[in-house]
Structure 1
Amino acid sequence: MLVLSRKESQRIRLGDSIVVTIVKIGGDKVRVGIEAPDDVLVLRDELEAWDLPAGPAGPGAKPDAQIAAA
């Protein structure tokens, strides 16, 4: 496992098409933004065990982005 220290607004690039940005740090929480192609599923680890239906957004949608937007 690679462990990095980052400050707010700093980014981490994964391959050619995924960018992780540290959006905000406050107290014991870090807000992270993830930019990824539509065909890459971005999912919090605790949701991995769920059997998520395709739903209105269709297959390949980013469930966490939908949750945050709600």
Structure 2
Amino acid sequence: MLVLSRVAPQLISIGDTISVRILAVSGDSVRIGVEAPRSVTVHRSEVYERIQQEKKPGKRS
């Protein structure tokens, strides 16, 4: 894991096409913006996990 210290409005680049910008820091909350091509899906981890659960075969509704 790479750990970086950034302050608003600094940017983190991932590869050639993805950027993460620190928008604001307030207490222990950080607002970030993600710029990525439309072909790259971006989700919060809890949303991504729910999507993965829904994809599992045999899931009941």
Fold conserved between structures, TM > 0.5: yes
The structure richer in strand per residue is: 2
Matches within 5 A, 1:24-43: 24-43=24-43
1:48 Cα shift? Answer: 1.5
SS at match of 2:50: coil
Q: Based on CA coordinates, which of the two structures has the bigger radius of gyration?
A: 2
Using the alignment, how far apart are the partners of 1:26 and 1:48 within structure 2?
25
1:37 Cα shift? Answer: 0.1
Using the alignment, how far apart are the partners of 1:50 and 1:35 within structure 2?
23
**In the alignment, what sits opposite 2:17?**
17
TM-score with structure 2 length normalisation? 0.80
Give the CA RMSD over aligned residues: 1.3
**In the alignment, what sits opposite 1:48?**
48
Using the alignment, how far apart are the partners of 1:12 and 1:51 within structure 2?
26
Structure 1 segments of 4 or more deviating over 3 A?
A: none
CA-to-aligned-CA distance 1:3-47 (integer Å, 9 cap, x gap): 000001000000000010000000110000000000000010111
**In the alignment, what sits opposite 2:58?**
none
What number of residue pairs does the alignment pair up?
52
> Which runs of no fewer than 5 residues in structure 1 stay unpaired?
53-70
